[in-house]
Amino acid sequence: MNAASVSGGWDCHAHLFGPYARYPLAAERSYTPPEAVLTQYLALLKRLNLSHGVLVHPSAYGEDHALLLDVLASVPELRGVVVVRPESKLPLGKLRERGVRAARFSCRSGAALNFSGSASLDDLLALAPSLADAGLHAELWTDCEMLPQIAPLLKQLPVQVVIDHMGGFQPDAGPGHPGFLALLNLLESRQTWVKICAYRNLLKTSDWEVGQAFQQALTDAAPDRLVWGSDWPHLNVSNPPDAADLLSLMQRWAGSEEMVDQILVHNPQALYV
């Protein structure tokens, strides 16, 4: 299996930055990435033989969603994820018609890991009814240290929750770690989806093949609740991977063309169309 074998597929997690002359970053931000513009991303989708993408608003843009909304207006094959708080001025009820499908929040272990510009778990709890009314779901960047604590809250929300980066699993702990088991339990509850994007959890691991057991556990638990994301342009990674290699890794671990088709085509169509 390779990227060329997939038609109509989705990359469900990417970011855009710039051009900065037109879309400057927020004055107060915790990182300053190089430009990663729409033409580059569309070229990546073409190289991966994927038809659709989901763009996640980066915290470095603060409350300014102009880049995301302009791109969604110009490229109908793309969908968007915003970052909002209860005091935000974005009209949630009008976002779905503009191509937005979700709002992203962060709840990670370690205060240093929660970037300024991110919306919090408290923000999610406050906004969940409004998101449901607007036809949007929530996306949550968290990790396996936090999941056992917050899983009961997530199960009570009136919206679907998509967990980013495979729940921030710990490679050395194995799929039997309590935090990863909490993620599997959330999947089985049918309230939750997971983005298959393993590499950030494997950066300190010499053998990335340990990630296969985690992906296999997810596909065993709920194969129809998984989507794949490239995480392009791989922010704050010293040696960024090639998204094509990440896609091929996921496909090989999936074990069958049917599973790849489920993750890349059918599941994201249900979630983002």
Per-residue pLDDT for 34 more than 50? yes
- The residues, any chain, with a CB within 8 Å of residue 89's CB and separated by 6 or more, are 63
Per-residue pLDDT for 264 more than 80? yes
In Å, how far are 63, 233, 256 from 67, measured between CA atoms? Answer: 11, 16, 37
Per-residue pLDDT for 228 more than 70? yes
pLDDT-derived band at 6 (thresholds 50, 70, 90) equals low
What is the side-by-side strand order in the sheet with 50-56?
9-14, 50-56, 78-82, 100-107, 137-142, 161-163, 192-196, 226-228
Which residues sit opposite 53 in a β-bridge? 11, 78
Instruction: Give the pLDDT score at 110.
Output: 73
Per-residue pLDDT for 81 more than 80? yes
End-to-end Cα distance, the chain: 26
pLDDT-derived band at 4 (thresholds 50, 70, 90) equals very low
Looking at the chain, the whole-number percentage of residues with pLDDT higher than 70 is: 95
pTM tops 0.85, yes or no: yes
CA–CA separation, 61 vs 140, rounded Å?
18
Instruction: Give the pLDDT score at 8.
Output: 87
CA–CA separation, 10 vs 7, rounded Å?
9
Per-residue pLDDT for 194 more than 60? yes
In Å, how far are 2, 122, 246 from 48, measured between CA atoms? Answer: 9, 37, 10
Cα angle value 242/263/173 (rounded, 5°): 70
Instruction: Give the pLDDT score at 2.
Output: 46
The third-level CATH classification (topology) of the domain covering 3-272 is: TIM Barrel (3.20.20)
Encoded tokens for 169: 């699993």
In one-letter notation, the amino acid at residue 133 is: D
In one-letter notation, the amino acid at residue 224 is: D
Per-residue pLDDT for 115 more than 60? no
